[in-house]
A and B are shown apart, each in its own frame.
Chain A
Amino acid sequence: MDDVFSNFDLVLKAFWMTVQLAVLSGVAAMVLGTLLAAMRVGPVAVLRTVASTYVTVVRNTPLLVMCVFVFFAAPNLGLLVGTPFLVKGTIAVGLYTAPFVAEAIRSGVNAVPLGQAEAARAIGMTFAQNMRHVVLPQAFRASVPPLASTLIAMTKNTSVVAVFGIMEATARMRYFVNRNADDTILIFVVFAIGYILLVELISLGAVGLERRWKAAR
């Protein structure tokens, strides 16, 4: 146990890596996910098919297999060879999380009562106006809780890249566990608390955001 506390900077550095991974892949997933969600509710049938195929395929593939593609298969083809591990991890986790983000946003769009969009159509708004002024503002509010859940799951999923040699929190716990085989329970608790803090931070952010947007109604 002393080992962990005397080397606490290593723990902090590892969690900093986790935070970086989570923020970068979160941004990537949000951008790609919003695009996918827009394609899925839009009027062009082919785009809908493309988006829902991507969602179905990626949602049912384990993140570990996704990482095998990015970390092993791509370098075999001469792609991503000199890329830093952080970027590779971001690509894998971001691509994997995007469909979940898309589903969260789509569920938000679905939660907007039918009458709202109908009323907007009835007063002659176009698709773009309808989306911008009526549907999306309400949809974003409704998609805050599922989006927060998705981002929390993603933060936890960044642990998978530990398998591929990135020194983030989970890999660091493995390192300490290897060095102090008698103290594994306490070491686990320390790292678990770190993750719980990150997760609760996202939850608090979501609750705050929801409260703010509720007042704006």
Chain B
Amino acid sequence: MTGSVLFDAPGPRTIARHRLYSILTVVAVVAAIAGVLLFLRSEGELAYEKWEQFVTPKYVEALLVDGLLKTLQMAFTSVIFAVVFGVVFGVGKLSDHRPVRWACTLVVEFFRAVPVLLLMIFIFFTWGVGDGFGPYWSVVFALTLYNGSVLAEVFRAGVLAVPKGQGEAAYAIGMRKTQVMNLVLLPQAVKIMLPAIISQCVVALKDTSLGYYIVAPGLTYIGKAMWTEFPGTHLQTAVVLAVLYISVNLLLTGLATWVQKKFVGEHKPLDVGMTALTGLTAQGTGGAPGPGIGAP
């Protein structure tokens, strides 16, 4: 099938009209970009001196090693912890014992509804300052608690997404509850969850930038150091930071798509709402399987 079902294959007159729209859009976009560039040039923002530090080896190394590498370290450390947290609380939410289930739900819902920055500031100023564990681990722990709660929900949805007959069959051949979970449900759930976990890495990576507020190492810290050393280069530094973040995130997104295709197939990617309430309804009205009409 070519094109979308929302409109017919265009006839000659519509094609001409669409061509006009396209030309107008291209002209507008080119004009906008040219306008922005001319404006920046007239302000002297495109001068080589303002960008020089980003091609100087010393600063490039600082950006990549002290900035990007530290950011990646923080993000991946917290995602690994978050997966552990998510497994524990996700299984807890599925427990047969009501108190366990409620306690886990309370913890997960609490950390999902609180802004990461609020959590980070609280952790840093309560246990991080002075003799505490410092800003690096404050960022890691805050991100662990937040992403862990989201992953707990993803995890629960993943276990529930395993066809019911699998668990029933396992019970029927005499497996215990733990065996059913460990040998039958979990291995299949992990496969369904993988893309969601990788997407969560993107979220964690973006949120490491909040460490800026508590002077944690990472890209934004180096960015601040650079615009302090070269006054008036906020724009240039922000552009470079954005490019670095976007490239790493696009790589991760590409990986998630590949994993989705390779291991999960046509199964819809897991998507959980932001709270228990929206989570409930999201499962009921989630996107229909198969190609949708808006898919280009």
Min CB distance, B288 to chain A, in Å?
A: 5
CB < 8 Å neighbour of A145 from B4, B245, B281:
B281
Min CB distance, B12 to chain A, in Å?
A: 15
Produce 1/0 per residue, B275-296, CB < 8 A to A.
1111001100111101111111
Asked if A12 CB lies within 8 Å of chain B CBs, one says no
Chain A residues with Cβ under 8 A from B275's Cβ?
A: 152, 199-200, 203
A56 to B22, CA, bound (A): 21
Asked if A1 CB lies within 8 Å of chain B CBs, one says no
Asked if B179 CB lies within 8 Å of chain A CBs, one says no
Min CB distance, A13 to chain B, in Å?
A: 17
Produce 1/0 per residue, A149-184, CB < 8 A to B.
100110011011011000001100110011001001
Min CB distance, A125 to chain B, in Å?
A: 10
A110 to B294, CA, bound (A): 5
| Chain B residue with Cβ nearest A159 | B115
Chain A residues with Cβ under 8 A from B296's Cβ?
A: 40-41, 48
Chain B residues with Cβ under 8 A from A40's Cβ?
A: 294, 296
Interface residues of B, CB < 8 Å — how many? 70
A153 to B146, CA, bound (A): 12
Asked if B258 CB lies within 8 Å of chain A CBs, one says no
Asked if A137 CB lies within 8 Å of chain B CBs, one says no
Interface residues of A, CB < 8 Å — how many? 76
Q: Is the CB of A145 within 8 A of B282?
A: yes
| Chain A residue with Cβ nearest B7 | A127
A185 to B291, CA, bound (A): 49
Min CB distance, B219 to chain A, in Å?
A: 9
Q: Is the CB of A47 within 8 A of B25?
A: yes
Known: A46-B25, A114-B293, A196-B113. A121 touches B5 (CB 8 A): yes
Produce 1/0 per residue, A183-217, CB < 8 A to B.
01100100110011001100110110010000000
Tell me the chain B residues, 88-112 only, with Cβ under 8 Å from chain A.
Answer: 110
The secondary-structure label for the interface of chain A is: helix
Asked if B49 CB lies within 8 Å of chain A CBs, one says no
Q: Is the CB of B118 within 8 A of A159?
A: yes
Chain A residues with Cβ under 8 A from B286's Cβ?
A: 111
State the 6 A-B residue pairs at the shortest beta-carbon distance, nearest first. Answer: A110-B292, A60-B249, A62-B209, A73-B235, A109-B294, A159-B115
A-B CB contact pairs (8 Å), 10 listed: A40-B296, A44-B21, A46-B21, A64-B212, A145-B282, A146-B271, A148-B273, A195-B113, A196-B113, A203-B275
Q: What is B's interface to A at a CB cutoff of 8 Å? A: 3-8, 10, 18, 21-22, 25-26, 29, 39-40, 43, 45, 110, 113-118, 121-122, 125-126, 202, 206-207, 209-210, 212-213, 220, 223, 227, 232, 234-235, 237-238, 241-242, 245-246, 249-250, 253, 271, 273-278, 281-282, 285-288, 290-296
Q: What is A's interface to B at a CB cutoff of 8 Å? A: 40-41, 43-48, 50, 56-57, 60-65, 68-69, 72-73, 76-78, 106-107, 109-114, 116-118, 121, 127, 130-131, 135, 141-142, 144-146, 148-149, 152-153, 156-157, 159-160, 162-163, 169-170, 173-174, 177-178, 181, 184-185, 188, 191-192, 195-196, 199-200, 203-204, 206-207, 210
